[in-house]
Structure 1
Amino acid sequence: MKNTTVAMITAVAAVTRIMENTSENPGVCGFVTRNITLENVVTSVTSYDPAPCGLYGNYPASQPVLIFILVIMTAWSLFGNGCLLYLVFTEKNMREAGNIFLCALALADMAQILVYAPPTVYNLVHGEILGEGWCRVQAFLMKFLPVLSVYLQTSLWICRFIYIAFPLDYASIMTKRRLAVAMAACLLIALVTPVVGLARVGTVQSWTVDEYPGAVDIAQPISLMLSCLSGGAEVDSMMALISVGLTISFITACLIYKVAWDSGKNQEKLTGIAKDQLKHKLAAAKTLGIIFGVQLITWLPSTINTFLWKTGVIAPNKGVIAADIFFIVTMTSTFLVFANSKNIYRRALTSMYYNIRKIIQWVGEIEIIPLVMLRMRRPESNSRPDPVRNPIQPIIEYETTV
């Protein structure tokens, strides 16, 4: 009991210090203080309520619009990534070794949007989160999935560079063993942040008041529009890993464009297969450039806002509102790239249409077979015609023969 009392007093001290440090900015919201009695000792305990904070807390009338946006984001992400997975698994020309990273990236993007959007819709409808247990699960996944997504895309960039720079050696370089090692490396790197957090404090932290050395663990999101995220050293390590992954992607992108540019200069001298390969190189460079540009545009605003918020350049309340908006922008990276890939939609829907049509025809043929066999059977000459067995013969004729 004494340890519990000490922990509560420590939490109160941490939150009080934050409120004192930001007293000039009344935008610090969500802290609720109440008195509790422990062993005849009255103690003030401060907890955090995310409902009055952020975009929804300041503008409750925006709830229907926010829910509509989240539903559209979820549907678009699932549809776009689903079409991509369908093409990879059904078309032979898409079963290329490096596309294993593309499939894993699509699955990671779908997982991100499902972990974020549906629970956020619940938060907006009910004015509270699903619970502290879910908050910690979400905090773990939101530390794992973004890093995994970045490094899967980095691996995809490296695969495309090998394909463009060394097309003849691509099959020998991209062996199944190397692909498995690369995939395992992506998973291990993504696990660094949550596993380090577990090893450091022994639990999955959702939000840490890192301004205080005691690091108060609050199992609540900062606002109802934000997912439960990590704080303190965990979020710093996550941002560092993401920055390293994006830097590697940027360097690889520059190398790809250099190879494509050098090949384009000599396109007049190219003939046959080399000329066809140049078209694929330029198309691949353009596609990857769009992917990288979309990711950079969607991730930068949130990163800049976090930096300005931590350094005290912007007020906490404004920082939370901006974080709500920019976090939605960040999540659009899970589907926005498909906006310029109409060919994926067209090919997937066309293939689905013809496959469904074949299934319907196949089922129809199965239903027709018994009817054909029934009509092919002839009644015996000495037996009376049976109206049940021979539906073609009218019942009236059967009655007159009697």
Structure 2
Amino acid sequence: TLTYVMTHTENENPCYLKLLNIELQSCTTLRNQVSRISLYAFLSVGIVCTVVGNFLVVLSIAYFKQLQSPTNSFVMSLAVADCLVGLVVMPYSMIRTVEGCWYFGVLFCKLHSSLDVMLCTASIFHLSCIAFDRYYAVCNPLVYSLKMSRSRVALLIVVCWAVPMLISFGPIMLDLHVAGVDILLPKDECVFLVNRIYAVMASLVAFYLPMAVMLIAYWKIFQAAKRQARQINAMESQMAAGVGKDSSKKQRHRNTMKRERKAAKTLGIIMGVFLIFWMPFFTVNIVDPFIEYSTEVVIWDIFLWLGYINSSLNPFLYGFFNRSFRRAFLIISKPQITILETFTKG
């Protein structure tokens, strides 16, 4: 904070204004002890769910060969990104949210902001790749194995990590994201302010372009699902009338189409959850620099934690809607439950 102080010396004019750069401690904890403990408990549960849920997804795909498909390669990489959000981003964000202060220094504030942007963007990129993968699986199944070869999946996963790293660490560590911003923040606060150019460009790359890819992909999948539903109905009518001798082949085809429709529905729900939890943050992120950074801190915290919740929900959405994942989760967790029960009884 800049403060003008009246001073007087013998060799200079009796009175003049001297500009002193005095650093004031502006960080104050406004919450009482009960609310802080409650917030810590609530947010800690979210962090634990994020880490454990995503770790189970990674473990399931790594352990069970039947889960090792092109789509699940994206799912596994997504779970790694979401797990890292829970491990290295959310705990420090929790302390900042509850205490209202930043205790870890200016350099770590930049590093934390860079990791936050990179990992959340990587999570969003993976969701768009999953939608792209499902589009080919449902709408172009004949060319799916060609379009989604192992090398192409690996390349897309590299892009999902490399692009978020470029738009986060480079601009933030070099202070390019705050170029032209004339707001002096105390060292005990870690507020992620961005200039207008970075706000628009980063939001477009990190959210709006992947969102457009997902919306187009899921619209195409929805159209294909409707066509498949009509085919299933026609096939059932034929089977009921006793038409067609190769009923077992038709049954297999019918089950395949049902599985693809269910996969499209599952990923559609994930898309809806993604929009609900991330749209508020990225909307405010673009608007805030154009309204002179007048958005309240509590609004930022609410919208940011909504985005974090998306990382918490992804593994539960897979576990709830995907039978293979449900079985894998049960097999993995069974020994832990048995050990826990034995320990409790003993």
With normalisation by structure 1, the TM-score equals 0.67
1:77 aligns with 2:50: yes
Deviation at 1:303, TM superposition (A): 2.7
Closer, same or farther: CA 150–65 of 1 in aligned 2, 3 Å: same
Instruction: Report the residue type matching 1:148 in the other structure.
Output: A
CA distance in 2, matches of 1:180, 1:167: 20
Which residue is 1:379 aligned to? none
1:277 aligns with 2:241: no
SS state at 2:70 partner:
coil
CA contact (8 A) 2:48 2:86 kept: no
Moved more, 63-72 or 168-177: 168-177
Which residue is 1:87 aligned to? 60
1:322 aligns with 2:286: no
The structure with more helix, counted as a fraction of residues: 2
CA contact (8 A) 1:143 1:229 kept: no
What is the 5 A alignment of 1:3-402?
Answer: 32-33=1-2, 42-45=18-21, 51-52=27-28, 57-60=29-32, 62-123=35-96, 124=98, 127-194=101-168, 197=171, 203-205=173-175, 208=178, 210-212=180-182, 221-222=189-190, 228=192, 230-241=194-205, 242-270=207-235, 271-312=250-291, 316=294, 319-340=296-317, 341-342=319-320, 346-353=326-333
CA contact (8 A) 1:305 1:322 kept: no
Closer, same or farther: CA 303–122 of 1 in aligned 2, 3 Å: closer
Deviation at 1:219, TM superposition (A): 6.1
CA contact (8 A) 1:112 1:146 kept: yes
Q: String of CA shifts for 1:176-225, please: whole Å, max 9, x gaps.
A: 22112212222332133135526xxxx4439737444xx868766455xx
Closer, same or farther: CA 322–67 of 1 in aligned 2, 3 Å: same
Closer, same or farther: CA 349–174 of 1 in aligned 2, 3 Å: closer
Q: Which has the larger radius of gyration?
A: 1
Moved more, 286-295 or 83-92: 83-92
Number of residues of Structure 1 aligned to a counterpart in Structure 2: 310
Q: String of CA shifts for 1:227-281, please: whole Å, max 9, x gaps.
A: x565553333221102111111111111111111111112134423321111111
CA contact (8 A) 2:122 2:164 kept: yes
Instruction: Report the residue type matching 2:168 in the other structure.
Output: P
- Contiguous gaps of at least 5 residues in structure 2: 236-249, 340-346
Deviation at 1:46, TM superposition (A): 6.1
CA contact (8 A) 1:205 1:217 kept: no
With normalisation by structure 2, the TM-score equals 0.76
CA contact (8 A) 1:132 1:219 kept: yes
SS state at 1:129 partner:
coil
CA contact (8 A) 2:199 2:285 kept: no
SS state at 2:21 partner:
strand
Instruction: Report the residue type matching 1:107 in the other structure.
Output: V
CA distance in 2, matches of 1:50, 1:188: 37
SS state at 2:296 partner:
helix
CA contact (8 A) 1:302 1:323 kept: yes
Instruction: Report the residue type matching 2:148 in the other structure.
Output: M
CA distance in 2, matches of 1:230, 1:48: 23
- Contiguous gaps of at least 5 residues in structure 1: 1-31, 360-402
Which residue is 1:21 aligned to? none
CA contact (8 A) 2:280 2:303 kept: yes
Deviation at 1:158, TM superposition (A): 0.7
